[in-house]
Amino acid sequence: MTPTPTRETDWRLRPIVGLLSFLAAISVFTAALHLSPVTPSAWLTLVTLIVLIGLSNLLTLRIRSNFFVHWTDAATLVAAVALPVPWLVVLVAGTVTLAKIIQRREPIKAIFAVAKETLVATTAGLILSSADIETLTTTSQLGNFPPIQTVALAFLAMIVIDDLVSVPVIAISMGTPVLRMYRESLKRHLSLSVVRFGIALAALVLLLWDSRLLIAIPPLVLSLHVMHMNRLRQEAEREAWQRLARATDALNEVDLDKVLHAAIDTGVNMFGAAWVEVDFRAPAEPGQTAGVRHIFGDRSGLLTQRPDVEDSEGEPTVVALEGQRDTEDVGELRLYFGRPTILPEREGFLLRTFAAALATAIRNASAYGLLINVADQHAHEAQHDPLTGLANRRCLVDEGKAALEHRPTTGAIALLTLDMVQFKEINDGLGYKAGDDVLVEIGRRMLATAGTDATVARQDGDEFAVLFTALPTPALAMHRSRDILQKVAEEYEVDGVPITLVPRAGLAVAPADGDMTELLRRASLALTEAKRTGQRIVPYSRSLDITDLDRLELGGQISRAVAASEFTLEFQPIVDLATGEIVSAEALARWHHPDRGNLDPRRFLDAVERSGQLTAFTEAILDQALQAAGTWAAAGHPIPVAVNISPRSLLDRRFPALVEQLLDERGMKSESLVLELTESLTLSSMEIVDQVLAGLGRLGVAIALDDFGTGFSSLSALARVPVRELKIDRSFVTDMDASAEAMAVVRSTIELGRALGLAVVAEGIERVDQRQTLWNLGCGLGQGHLFARPLSQQRFLASLGKGAFGDMIEGRPAPVVRLPRPGDHFGLRRRPRSSNE
Model pLDDT for residues 101-126, shown as the tens digit of each residue: 887 878 888 888 888 888 888 888 88
Q: 10 Å Cβ neighbour count for 605?
A: 17
**Between 815 and 372, residue with greater pLDDT:** 372
Q: For helices 148-174 and 7-33, what crossing angle results, to 10°?
A: 150
Which CATH number applies to 393-541? 3.30.70.270
**Which amino acid is it at 90?**
V
How many other β-carbons are positioned within 10 Å of the β-carbon of residue 667? 10
Cβ atoms of 765 and 786 closer than 8 Å: yes
Cα–Cα distance, 356 to 348 (Å, whole number): 13
d(C-alpha 537, C-alpha 502), whole Å: 11
Rounded CA separation 227/69 (Å): 13
When pLDDT is averaged across residues 504-508 and rounded to a whole number, the result is 91
Residues ≥6 apart with Cβ < 8 Å to 830: 576, 581, 583
3 state DSSP class of 279 = strand
Separation between Cα atoms, residue 114 and residue 99, nearest integer Å: 9
Predicted pLDDT at 779: 94
Least confident span in 161-170, 385-394, 575-584: 161-170
Compute and round to an integer the Cα radius of gyration of the chain.
52
Residue 532 has pLDDT above 60, yes or no: yes
Distance from C-alpha of 215 to C-alpha of 213, rounded to nearest angstrom: 5
Which carries the bigger pLDDT value, residue 274 or residue 710? Answer: 274
**Residue 795 pLDDT > 60:** yes
The answer on pLDDT for 490 being more than 50 is yes
Burial state string for 783-812 with b = 16 or more CB within 10 A and e = fewer than 16: bbebbbebbebebbbebbeeebbbbbeeee
Tell me which fold the domain 7-216 belongs to.
Arp2/3 complex 21 kDa subunit ARPC3 (1.10.1760)
Mean pLDDT of the region 362-373: 74
Q: What is the pLDDT of residue 767?
A: 92
Separation of first and last alpha carbons in the chain = 121
3-class secondary-structure state, position 582: strand
Residue 798: is its pLDDT beyond 70? yes
Contact 782, 773 (CB under 8 A): no
Write out pLDDT tens, residues 194-204. 667 776 776 66
Helix (H) or strand (E) holding 463: strand 463-471
- What's the pTM value of the predicted model, to 2 decimals? 0.42
Residues 6+ apart with CB under 8 A from 781: 574, 575, 576, 577, 583, 759, 760, 761, 762, 828, 829
Report DSSP state, residue 832: P
| Secondary-structure class of domain 565-813 per CATH | alpha beta
- CA dihedral in degrees (616, 621, 625, 630; nearest 10)? 30
For range 586-606, the mean pLDDT: 83
Q: How far apart are alpha carbons 331 and 701 in whole angstroms?
A: 69
Report the range out of 10-19, 175-184, 789-798 with the highest average pLDDT.
789-798
On whether the CB atoms of residues 124 and 111 are closer than 8 A, the answer is no
Fold classification of 250-380 is: Beta-Lactamase (3.30.450)
Q: How confident is the model at residue 133 (pLDDT cuts 50, 70, 90)?
A: low
Provide the mean pLDDT of the chain. Answer: 76
Using the predicted structure, report yes or no on whether residue 689 has a pLDDT greater than 50: yes
**Greater confidence, 258 or 203?**
258
Q: Which of 18-27, 424-433, 649-658 is predicted with the least confidence, judged by mean pLDDT? A: 424-433
When pLDDT is cut at 50, 70 and 90, the band that residue 224 belongs to is low
> Where are the domains positioned within the chain?
7-216, 250-380, 393-541, 565-813
234-243, 556-565, 821-830: range with highest mean pLDDT: 556-565
At 564-582, the pLDDT tens digits run 888 999 999 999 998 889 9
pLDDT band at 824 (very low <50, low <70, confident <90, very high): very low
Between 542 and 817, whose confidence is greater?
542
Asked if the model's pLDDT at residue 826 lies above 60, the reply is no
